[in-house]
Amino acid sequence: MSHDAERQKEQNRVDKVVQEINIKEEKLFSKAGGLKESIVDLRKNFWEDVTVNLDEPDDVIETQASLKQQAELLAERERSHGSIGKELKTLRLLKESPYFGRIDFSEKPGGKKEKIYIGIASLMDLDDEEFLIYDWRAPISSLYYDFSPGAAYYETMDDTIEGEISLKRQFIIRQSKIKGMFDTGVTIGDSLLQAALGNYASTTMKSIVATIQREQNKIIRNEHSKLLIVQGVAGSGKTSAVLQRIAYLLYRFRDSLNNENLLLFSPNPLFSSYIANVLPELGETNISQTTFYDFLRDGIEKDIKIESPFEQMEFMLTEKDTAELSIRQVNMKLKSSIAYKTLIDEYLSSLTSRGIQFRNITFRGDILISKESIADYFYSLDESISIPNKMELVAKWLLQEIKIHQQKEKSKDWVLEQIELLDKEEYLQAYYGNQRVDEDDPSIEEDILRNIVVKKQFAGVKKQIKKYAFVNTLTTYQQLFMNWTTSFLPDNWDKIKELTKQYLTNKHLTWEDATPYRYFRGKLLGDKENRSIRHLFIDEAQDYSAFQFSYMKEIFPYTRMTLLGDINQAIYTYASTENPLVPEYISENHERIVLTKSYRSTKQIVEFTKKFAPGGDMIEPFERDGEPPQIIESQGDVSTNLKKLIQDLKAKDYETIAVICKTLEESNELYEMLKDKVSLKQIKEDTYSFEKGIVVVPVYLAKGIEFDAVIIPDASKEHYDQEWDRTLFYTACTRAMHSLTILTKGTPCIFIQEALN
């Protein structure tokens, strides 16, 4: 059969599938309408359909049963309505593009050839007897991703099914019409990938289910590894693969796993917004996303300022005082390490016998319970009891002591003054809500009102005690850098102590101190293990320290972790030391998957950047041709040059153009320079989304995002002058999909020289 005839035959099948989808939609619309009316009626007549009788105990029980029955009926109808809404959404997606792949598979021995069409969701025929479309996550669909025509197999829950693929076909279907159709002998045909990768960048990441590669499929379908490590070069699709992995896990374990059991740490708020569309495109609800900074912030006192990782980066890149820069580097190196965690553990051990700092408990300016009394009580408890458990016992003791003080305060004059300030509602509540009220004995009424006033005034004190505010955690941590001595003294300890004391005195935590302090606080007051999170996904994992990983393993002890990152893009000083992405630092059982092919950028951009990438030898470009990177010596006015470049790129119909700067300081300067000449936006740390157009952004906020065209405004030797700038420059260049333009003022940086040699 000719290609045109075969294509028409496939289009006829698409038309038939769409016709069945339309019929299913009509049935669901009708059912949804009836359910909606039923829900409205139930809500309107809820109390009319409930038997309410509170005269006798048996009647009360009957009333409760009636209420429960009516509420359960309403909840069931609402669940059904929600389920229909989800089905309709899936059908709309399928109607637009029913499937993207087909394989013809015969089971051995002598099995019948089955045509398997693969899409983003399963679809049965109208009789619910045969699959018209298989969900891409179904076990049989793995054949499409893992094998070329020939011998093949797939795993089910109980068995391994062996057979043979006789045909592998890929489709591009838009608005129910086949726009492209390819028969292929490789995992995913280059034609389909070319079509997907040749498009312009989007302001949100798209689903890649149609173009998943074999190595990516290993990531997605991994069910057994406690720790899955994905080392992927820039543009290798590691983030996309992990999002499909999330969708796969929610499908595979749908009876025991929901979106609340999964958590993703993303590198910045902008990235969280960028990927927010992927799971809904696959018919799944988004999982919880946060940055590690926000996660730490939630567990640290609100009056303590925490330096963000981006502020730390900006300091490192712009600080001109070499002495201060040098000691910060030493500070970062120590406090990123497991050695520092060991030091804190030793300090914590010493606190079981002495050293914890407490706060006075005050009321109306007077000390009710002194910090010395609290310390005496704490250290009178059995030393074998853990510190957090002792804190719990101290809190209970303090609440008992507060009750005694509450009784003492009740008779004081200030209480009578406060009684006069009570509003009418509080008076009535006291009068009718208390059995002791006696119209003939006003002293009882006054006693009741005094109790109300004192209880109200002491409520704040009790709340603070329950929150362990009587422990001065920051000062206790600060003692580590003042009076405490240890047999293990790190290099430059005196300088580190002075620097840390200076910050802590001002209630300021550097980024390298934020995780150690949160860890210390948890060990002092109790940091509950999070058992609800079953899978934790960490993107840009190369930027986490050994201390941070160790802390996460303690907080999530029963959680499976997926780490994805690229050591070539490790931009935070010392973060990669002892990082799990580095093979020699892993000791526990894990699975490592390495992605070496870069799909984002054109072959010319990849060939250019791999020459100065730290691990460039392993990077393979995808065969997508484009223009080589432009290196231009910048002369004259910078803003005029940039305006001209941007206009040229816009003329090529590039929809997202990024001017990627080394620092926020440089980004601010360029934005001020360009804002009256070009319509553009600036991306900062608190930017949560970006739109098509021109943006100015520091490189550390562009991580994980891609643009049609990238301009690096200053790649001179003076600007990128340190060896640690290598990964920054590599990260900036690899954000470009189609066009990379690099300006230099004078001599180009060493990385450009390496690329050109």
**Residues in CB range of 750: below 8 A, 6 or more apart:** 612, 717, 720
pLDDT of the residue at 451? 78
Cα–Cα distance measured from residue 468 to residue 391, given in angstroms and rounded to the nearest whole number = 8
pTM over 0.75: yes
| Phi–psi pair at 591, nearest 5 degrees | -125, 135
Q: For residues 501-524, give the mean pLDDT.
A: 97
Flag whether pLDDT at 224 surpasses 90: no
Sign of CA dihedral 596, 601, 607, 609: negative
- Of how many residues is the chain composed? 757
With CA atoms as reference, report the closest residue to 190 among 202, 182, 178.
182
Query: Binding site annotation covers 320?
Result: no
* Count of beta carbons in the 10 Å neighbourhood of residue 228: 23
Residue type, 180: G
pLDDT of the residue at 480? 94
Whole-number Cα distances in Å, 151 to 104, 186, 505: 12, 13, 69
Q: At what angle do helices 214-221 and 238-252 cross, to 10 degrees?
A: 40
- Taking only the tens place, the pLDDT of each residue in 271-330 is 888 888 788 777 788 889 999 999 999 999 999 999 999 999 999 999 888 888 999 999
- Taking only the tens place, the pLDDT of each residue in 657-673 is 999 999 999 999 999 99
Mean pLDDT check: name the lowest of 11-20, 24-33, 219-228, 392-401: 24-33
The pair of structure tokens assigned to 703 is: 């991580």
Flag whether pLDDT at 50 surpasses 60: no
Flag whether pLDDT at 440 surpasses 80: no
**Residues in CB range of 594: below 8 A, 6 or more apart:** 215, 230, 231, 232, 618
CA angle 601, 607, 609 (to 5 degrees): 75
**Residues in CB range of 161: below 8 A, 6 or more apart:** 107, 140, 153, 154, 155
pLDDT of the residue at 189? 46
- Taking only the tens place, the pLDDT of each residue in 189-222 is 455 555 555 555 565 666 667 777 888 889 999 9
Burial of 373: CB neighbours in 10 Å, binned 0-12, 13-18, 19+: middle
DSSP state string for 629-689: PEEEE--S-HHHHHHHHHHHHHHTT-SEEEEEESSHHHHHHHHHHHTTTS-EEE--TT---
Work out the pLDDT band at 551, boundaries 50, 70, 90: very high
pLDDT of the residue at 644? 94
Q: For residues 349-355, give the mean pLDDT.
A: 93
Q: For residues 9-38, give the mean pLDDT.
A: 83
Mean pLDDT check: name the lowest of 21-30, 49-58, 335-344, 636-645: 49-58
Q: DSSP character for 716?
A: B
Query: Binding site annotation covers 415?
Result: no
Cα–Cα distance measured from residue 92 to residue 280, given in angstroms and rounded to the nearest whole number = 13
Mean pLDDT check: name the lowest of 569-573, 719-723, 746-750: 569-573
Contact call for residues 624 and 678 (beta carbons, < 8 A): no
The pair of structure tokens assigned to 224 is: 């057994």
- Taking only the tens place, the pLDDT of each residue in 684-711 is 988 888 788 999 999 999 988 899 999 9
* Residue matched to tokens 């009516």: 70
Flag whether pLDDT at 159 surpasses 50: yes
Flag whether pLDDT at 65 surpasses 80: no
Helix (H, G, I), strand (E, B) or coil at 389: helix
DSSP state string for 286-353: PPEEE-HHHHHHTTS-TTSEE--HHHHHHHHHH---HHHHHHHHHHHHHHTSHHHHHHHHHHHHHTTT
Contact call for residues 452 and 426 (beta carbons, < 8 A): yes
Cα–Cα distance measured from residue 308 to residue 9, given in angstroms and rounded to the nearest whole number = 58
- Taking only the tens place, the pLDDT of each residue in 136-158 is 999 999 998 888 889 999 998 88
Cα–Cα distance measured from residue 19 to residue 494, given in angstroms and rounded to the nearest whole number = 76
589 vs 271, higher pLDDT? 271
Sign of CA dihedral 734, 738, 743, 749: positive
* Percent with pLDDT over 70 in the chain: 85
Per the DSSP assignment, residues forming a β-bridge with 589 are none
Cα–Cα distance measured from residue 481 to residue 486, given in angstroms and rounded to the nearest whole number = 11
Beta strand 560-565 with 227-232 is parallel
pLDDT of the residue at 39? 54
Query: Binding site annotation covers 236?
Result: yes
Query: Binding site annotation covers 234?
Result: yes
Query: Binding site annotation covers 333?
Result: no
